[in-house]
Structure 1
Amino acid sequence: MKKVVKFGGSSLANAEQFQKVADIIRADEARRYVIPSAPGKRFSSDIKVTDMLYECYDIAESGKKFTAKLDKIKERYNEIIKGLGLELSLDDEFQVIHENFEKKAGSNYAASRGEYLNGIIMANYLGYEFVDAAEVIFFDENGNFDEVKTDKKLADRLKDTEKAVVPGFYGAKPDGSVKTFSRGGSDVTGSIVAKAIQADLYENWTDVSGFLVTDPRIIENPEVIETITYRELRELAYMGATVLHEDAIFPVRKAEIPINIKNTNAPQEKGTLIVAHTCHKPKYTITGIAGKKGFAAINIEKDMMNAEIGFGRKVLGIFEENDIS
């Protein structure tokens, strides 16, 4: 059995969380391919490493001195390394990052270094092989994800690799420049890897015990959804449910690989299982409720609309002219 396991930023924010993650991975031999995010917040007022990298690069791009900011990021990683008791130095990696920031390598490159560095630490801690996502996940020259090329290269690269860490969130364009997915894109990377290796299960570990029937900030103690279909999940994610990146469903949906949303801090809980279709009768008629701001439904009434050729095209043209999706 092969499992791909992705861990979010809150699951990898410090050494203590790294240890929890390692215990989870080592508890199941099938957890052979690991997708780490960048370190998240250690406490409520903390700053995510990805945001620190964006801020540092903005300073570099403006031509100002950024070394002190970069050193702060380096401290975050050294704190994790020290806490794990690893004999590991990231000095060379940070020297390369410094040089590339000076060369204005781009904000995509800057943001991707959070996952890249966390992947190196995770691979060292687990004793797994490190596979740079820029070598196996590809975008075309326009920045669109190249599914065919990625699927082939990734499958070839991992077919003889028993255990590997592949950093989430980024890949590379034909010229070698780094390109990232949108924020939260490590979910997408996990899904891509799961499809490429034909995994039996994709486990997405986060700080909640699965999908809830509604927003816990609005409704007190909502229940966890035990099983949900890809289609239902897509609708909830599109309308604001943020447990899983909405684009993470597509690669595994084609291969009908189930996704299990699990809680790093409560690994004994079942979480939510996302499947192609369910045969059992659901517990509730309504799967879940989500809301999204800045969203409108349009209702149009017009006499004899059904007999007017091209009416739908005209309406859609108005939306397009006004830049409305």
Structure 2
Amino acid sequence: MKKVVKFGGSSLADARQFEKVGEIIKSDPNRSYVVPSAPGKRFEGDTKVTDMLLEAYRIAAEGSDPHRQLMAIKDRYQEIIDQLNLSIRLDEDFDQIEESLKKEPSLDFAASRGEQLNGKLMANYLDYRFIEPAENIFFDQDGFLDMNKTERVLGKSLAGVEKAIIPGFYGCGFDGRVKTFSRGGSDVTGSVVAAVAGADVYENWTDVSGFMVADPRIIHNPVSIDTLTYRELRELSYMGASVLHEDAIFPVRSKGIPINIKNTNAPDAEGTWIVESTARKPQFTITGIAGKKGFCAVSITKDLMNSEIGFGRKVLQSFEDNGISFEHMPSGIDTMTIVVHEDEFLHKEQAVVSEIHRLTRPDQVEIESDLALIAVVGRGMKSMRGTAGRIFSALAHAHINVRMMDQGSSELNIIIGVANEDFEGAIKAIYDIFVTINL
């Protein structure tokens, strides 16, 4: 068996956490390839190394000297080196970073150095080979992962290498310069390495014991999820569940590789398994609840719109022409609602409304703001009658008005729109009706 293991920033925040990670890796000889993040917060109120690097970039980009900021970052790494008695020195690395930031400040380059430096420390600590992502992971001209080239090059680098460190979060852009994934992208790197290596399992180690049914900041001590599918994960991650980057499923899904979310501080806990499909029945009708605030709904009304060919395309064109993507599109016979991110829409709203009028000649266009979306996700909903009814009943009992509802044909999820101020109360009500009463 071959495992790829990724460790998050909180798992590598200081020397003590490094030791924990080292023990975890050494406890299982199948843990072949390690993907580290940059050091995270050591304590409440601390600053992540990536954020410190971004501040160094800002200073350099404004024409000031980032030396003092970079030395503070170097001290963070030196503390780990000293406490672990490592033989590595980072003087040359920081000289190169400083020179690069002063000469040609690059946001992606600066942001990626936390992972690279932590990878070098981890390779020295474990005596593993260090593999440079900027030479093995590639992006295409549109900024997306070039999986074909990555598989070809990274596959050669991993061939015959039993143990290796591949830092997360970055690779090589189409222009040959360092390019990063979006924040949290070390999860994606781990998935890429697992797919290329043909791993049996991709272990993603963080500071929680897997996925919870709901956000623990809203629900006190929520129940954990034993198993969920890639599709369920995709829905939950997209709607705000932040344990795993939403794009991390794609490389492993194509190879049928399961993901196991594990807790560095509780390594014996089983965590959550994320799989393509499973015969395991979920503990509850729903698998999870997730949501986000800050949406608005643009409702277009026109008599007989259903018989007007191309009406929907013209409406969506109004958003596309203004560079706005939509989230959901519930509709009726004479109504069509487009749900968009409020902060993306506000400064372009009148341009969009004008274009909708020009292209479709509607009877009315109405905008409703301060909307929160909640996704109720679960493969068990398909075989259970009355799920939507129970959701509406729970919200009614909590005196929460449903302002929008959208359900896909797969019956995997139901999207509920409520006022921003009702967001937390709605999640509590839904959690109670499906989980609390069944415990």
TM-score, normalised by the number of residues in structure 1: 0.97
Q: CA deviation at 1:91?
A: 0.9
Unmatched runs of 5 consecutive residues or more in structure 2: 326-439
Residue 110 of structure 2 is matched in structure 1 by 110
- Per-residue CA deviation, residues 213-269 of structure 1 (Å, 9 max, x unaligned), is 001111111011000000000000000000001011111111111000000000010
**1:120-159 paired onto structure 2 within 5 Å:** 120-159=120-159
Q: Does 1:59 align with 2:59?
A: yes
- Contact 2:3–2:194 at 8 Å: present in 1 too? yes
Q: Which has the higher strand share?
A: 2
- Report the CA distance between 1:176 and its aligned residue: 2.5
The whole-number CA distance in structure 2 between the counterparts of 1:82 and 1:38 is: 18
Aligned counterparts, 1:1-325, within 5 A:
1-296=1-296, 302-325=302-325
Given that 2:35 and 2:167 are in contact with CA atoms closer than 8 Å, whether structure 1 keeps it comes out as yes
In structure 2, distance between residues paired with 1:318 and 1:294: 21
Question: Which secondary structure state, in structure 1, belongs to the residue aligned with residue 35 of structure 2?
Answer: strand
Q: Partners of 1:316 and 1:60 in 2: how far apart?
A: 41
Q: Partners of 1:276 and 1:188 in 2: how far apart?
A: 17
Tell me if structure 1 keeps the 8 A contact 2:65–2:102: no
Displacement of 1:317: 1.1
CA distance, structure 1, for counterparts of residue 263 and residue 274 of structure 2: 15
Distance 1:32 1:60 in 2: 38
CA distance in 1, matches of 2:174, 2:294: 36
Q: CA deviation at 1:142?
A: 3.9
CA separation in 2, counterparts of 1:112 and 1:44?
23
Gapped regions of structure 1 (runs ≥ 5): none
Aligned residue for 1:293, secondary structure, equals: strand
Cα distance in 1 for partners of 2:127, 2:51 equals 29
Three-state SS of the structure 1 residue aligned to 2:228 is strand
Residues 1-10 or 141-150, more deviating:
141-150
CA drift of 1:61 comes to: 1.8
Task: Kindly state the Cα deviation for residue 87 of structure 1 after the two structures are TM-superposed.
Answer: 1.6
300-309 or 99-108: bigger deviation: 300-309
Q: Distance in 2 between matches of 1:100 and 1:321?
A: 38
Q: 4+ residue stretches of structure 1 with deviation over 4 A? A: 296-302
Give SS of 2:144's match: coil
Q: Distance in 2 between matches of 1:254 and 1:140?
A: 19
How many pairs were matched up? 325
> How many Å apart are 1:318 and its aligned residue?
2.2
Counterpart-to-counterpart distance in 2, 1:313 and 1:166: 44
Structure 2 CA distance, aligned partners of 1:87 and 1:124? 7
State the TM-score, normalizing by the size of structure 2.
Answer: 0.72
Deviation at 1:298, TM superposition (A): 6.0
Percent of aligned pairs sharing the same letter: 64
Letter in 1 for 2:206: T
Structure with the greater alpha carbon radius of gyration: 2
Q: Which amino acid aligns with 2:144?
A: N
The one-letter amino acid of 1:89's match is R
Task: Tell me, yes or no, if the aligned pair for 2:60 and 2:105 is still in contact at 8 Å.
Answer: no
Q: CA deviation at 1:57?
A: 1.4
